[in-house]
Amino acid sequence: MGAENFFTKSKGKTAKEAFSNAKEQAYYDHGHLGYTGSIAEKDSFVVIDVPVGEDPEDFADNLLNEDDDRVSDKWGPAGCIALPDQQYLFFGWASS
């Protein structure tokens, strides 16, 4: 089995609520069978702060490209970056 990277934006009052919303949408989009390469494969997330002046999506992409320990495990947590307006960016590697 392989792995694919994913980037998912989701809204919620909290990161936990947004994570739950994103997973539900991924189940709807990809099904419940597993190995979807999506956030549906994740059980948790880790909040990561973006350095001042950096674009959140570019920063997330760089973390994946640099094999950052916080988000490099397809069985580990997703990365989570807070965006404006109660939106969150979840990203990482997922089993496929």
Say if CB 90 and CB 4 are below 8 A apart.
no
How far apart CA 52 and CA 42 sit, in angstroms, is 28
Q: Tell me which long-range contacts 23-31 makes (C-beta under 8 A, separation of at least 24).
A: none
Per-residue pLDDT band at 25 (split at 50, 70, 90): very high
Mean pLDDT of 48-57: 98
Nearest by Cα to 85 from 56, 44, 48: 56
Residue 87: give the domain boundaries.
3-95
Q: What is the pTM of this model?
A: 0.96
Task: Provide, rounded to the nearest whole percent, the portion of the chain with pLDDT above 70.
Answer: 99
pLDDT of residue 33: 87
Bridge partners of residue 46, in order along the sequence? 79
How far apart CA 24 and CA 16 sit, in angstroms, is 12
Bridge partners of residue 91, in order along the sequence? 7, 79
Say if CB 16 and CB 74 are below 8 A apart.
no
Whether 1 shows a pLDDT value over 80: the answer reads no
Q: What is the mean pLDDT of the chain?
A: 97
Number of domains in the chain: 1
